[in-house]
Amino acid sequence: MQQTPAHSPGRGRDSFIDVIRALCVLAVISQHWLMPVLSYENGHLSTGNALASPGWWIVTWLTQVMPMVFFAGGAANFFSFRSVKSVRTWLRARIARLLVPVIPLAAVWLLLPHALIAAGVPRQPVLLAGGIAGQLLWFLAVYVLVVALTPVMFRWYRRYGWRVIGVLAVCALAVDVLRFEVSPAIGFLNALFVWLAAHQFGFHYADGSLRLRSGWASAGVAAVGFGITAAAVFFGPYPPSMIGMPGAPVSNMSPPTALMLSLTIGQLGLWLTLKPVITRCAERPRATAVLQWCGTRFMTLYLWHMPALVMTAGITVLGLGFATPKPGSPMWFAVAPLWVGISGIFLVTFTRIFGRFEIRRPSGAAGAVSDMSLGKVVLAAVLSAGGLLGLAAQGFISPESPVTPVLWVLLVLAGLLVVREKNAPKAVAAQGSRTVPVQLAVRQEDARVLSRQATG
């Protein structure tokens, strides 16, 4: 592998990473819109999964893009963190930007289910919608923790290099053994081990050590990754689908298994094989404009694409009595573009309304160097991640305890308020004198790395 840097601060953004992020979000949205198999009768909404159709599991080996989401996040975090002036300020800005778009989502969905029930909408589909609107927040919860751990993982990357990924992979495999032999609950530890490893791959891409010498080498990496995945599926305890399936005893995603690491390698090799074509396409003015637009609205698109689906299903399935055709049938393929188109109209509308919360730079979280202690930043990450996980597990409406979703939202809000705490000017000035060594240390380490690359 070549050791040439893949990116330098002076060159601006990495278009390859921007394309990965944009296409991954598009894949998540498309998959979630096309998966549901819905029918409605006598006040009850029946649900199924199109990808549960025989043989369709192979599609998930490409459309399960969370490994690439964390990989791209790792590269983006590396690019910004390597020249950071203050670790605490960087963490505050990163965490605040992740949390701010959640607030309008929570404000709408804490009230909407109760309003719909009061208006006479049957209770069961409303409860289902309230759960769907919140369940994807699991990703945000995990990513907030990954961001909070970025300074530590960055130091370990500097000191131990590729060995960090090796240790995380061993930990993930050990967790799988305990999960299958002792208790399934142990598997949730892999929500950190697996996704931190994928995030760490992004570090190695960003420093140039993941740039392969040829397209054939990248294709070979893809073959190895997918080959290991296939062997683990056919000879091991893992199911073939890379997403959770209704009634399946084991899910590769919830929580993630170590199989996600071999999938990461396979998908990464595939993306690197296509990198020259992707980069050329991304340099076109129209593509650049689209990437810039998406780049400032990723969280809004992610958070609101399921409410867009809920609106589409509410109108067509509940309102008009539409039932999803048999997946894979000619009628299913004929209806799919219309279904996606209606959902897309709702998503564009939601993005125009709520995207401003993400585009607006959070005050108090960036700009002047922060006097906030690192402990407070960690507290904010833990509080917000806990609230997000609660919402992902229970949704925005709970028939057993109506107040519980409010408490989860308050935890998220508490985390956001901590990182957006205003600074006293005097304290900021005092902190500024302590941040110079941090920046110099990072730059000196960058110089040593580049020197080793030039002579290696």
Structure tokens that stand for 193 in this block: 């081990």
Q: Give CA–CA dist 95/73, Å, rounded.
A: 13
Please report the pLDDT score of residue 234 as a whole number: 95
Q: Give CA–CA dist 14/291, Å, rounded.
A: 11
* pLDDT average per 10 residues of sequence, the chain (456 residues): 41 83 96 96 92 92 96 95 87 92 96 94 94 94 96 95 97 97 94 98 92 84 97 94 86 94 97 93 90 90 96 95 95 96 97 89 46 80 96 91 93 92 44 40 46 44
Please report the pLDDT score of residue 212 as a whole number: 78
Q: Give CA–CA dist 130/112, Å, rounded.
A: 9
Give pTM, 2 decimals.
0.87
Please report the pLDDT score of residue 440 as a whole number: 39
Where do the structural domains in the chain lie, given as residue ranges? Answer: 9-455
Please report the pLDDT score of residue 336 as a whole number: 96
Please report the pLDDT score of residue 355 as a whole number: 92
Please report the pLDDT score of residue 456 as a whole number: 42
Q: Give CA–CA dist 7/80, Å, rounded.
A: 11
Please report the pLDDT score of residue 4 as a whole number: 38
